[in-house]
Amino acid sequence: MADLSILFTVFPYVAIAIAVIGSVYRYFNDRFSYSSQSSQFLENRELFWGSVPWHYGIILAFLAHLGATVLAPVWGLIIASSISRDIIRLTGPILGLVAAFGLLVLIVRRVENDKARAVTSKADWVMLILLLIQIVMGLIITLFYRWGSAWYPYTASPWLFSIVTLNPQPQFVQVLPPLVQAHFLNAFLLVAIIPFTRLVHLFTVPITYLWRPYQVVIWNRRTYSGVNQDVNKKKTEGK
């Protein structure tokens, strides 16, 4: 029990410290790598079918977790209605399946595509595996530890608030099943490896777009087409 207490009291702060310090260090020492390092130019079709469902699924799932955490004091009123409970119960697995499908497509793409595999670091592979494990654990929890919307605000939410207020209270989550505990700890492990992977682009919010002047884009496709036609015509006449 003492070891678990350390995991739920010390490890979250260690993970956050690694993420913050590592990200700042990488930004000032290797700024050009501070991006998603997109491989879209290598292969676009599979990336589309993987990236779109992955981002929509994982972002909405994260917002659902965040909403249950922030609204914990009034969550009982939200789930008092059977309709709202059913919607929440069905939404979770759907978002998890959508995110899992997208992530699997992205993983298969990097396995099969030589160029995409070449630009994937070992840390990126670790990140992809941990993300897949996190989603699978979440889906299993929704299936075998049902009604998470009922117990999450009274277990995970108080624990997370205690972490934020620098007064960790591990007793809220130590009573939960091991799989649920692993789900929480794996989330902080993902936070810890952010500086070493392409996930670091999460911190590159393009706020400069708010005041940057408009960029004028002029398409010259017709001009190029006309030039090519003239060149082909001259070649034909020369023959």
- Give the pLDDT means over successive 10-residue stretches in the chain (239 positions): 77 95 86 61 66 89 88 80 82 92 90 79 91 94 80 89 94 92 95 88 62 67 51 49
pLDDT at 231: 45
Q: Per the domain annotation, does 227 fall within a domain?
A: no
Q: Per the domain annotation, does 238 fall within a domain?
A: no
Nearest CA-CA partner of 120 in 134, 106, 102, 135: 106
Q: Per the domain annotation, does 95 fall within a domain?
A: yes
Looking from the CA of 42 toward its CB, the CA atoms found within 13 Å total 15
Q: Per the domain annotation, does 224 fall within a domain?
A: no
Q: Per the domain annotation, does 226 fall within a domain?
A: no
Q: Which tokens go with 19?
A: 């993420």
**Angle at CA of residue 201, ends 198 and 204, nearest 5°:** 160
pLDDT at 36: 58
pLDDT at 79: 78
Domain with 9, as residue range(s), is 2-208
pLDDT at 1: 46
The CATH code of the domain that includes 76 is 1.20.950.20
Q: Per the domain annotation, does 203 fall within a domain?
A: yes
pLDDT at 227: 47
The type of residue at 209 is: Y
pLDDT at 68: 85
Region for 197 from its dihedrals, namely left if φ exceeds 0, alpha if ψ lies in -120 to 50, beta otherwise: beta
pTM: 0.76
Q: Phi first, then psi: give them for residue 211, nearest 5 degrees.
A: -120, 0
Q: Per the domain annotation, does 225 fall within a domain?
A: no
**How many structural domains does the chain have?**
1
Region for 219 from its dihedrals, namely left if φ exceeds 0, alpha if ψ lies in -120 to 50, beta otherwise: beta
Q: Per the domain annotation, does 50 fall within a domain?
A: yes
At which residue do the structure tokens 């956050």 appear? 16
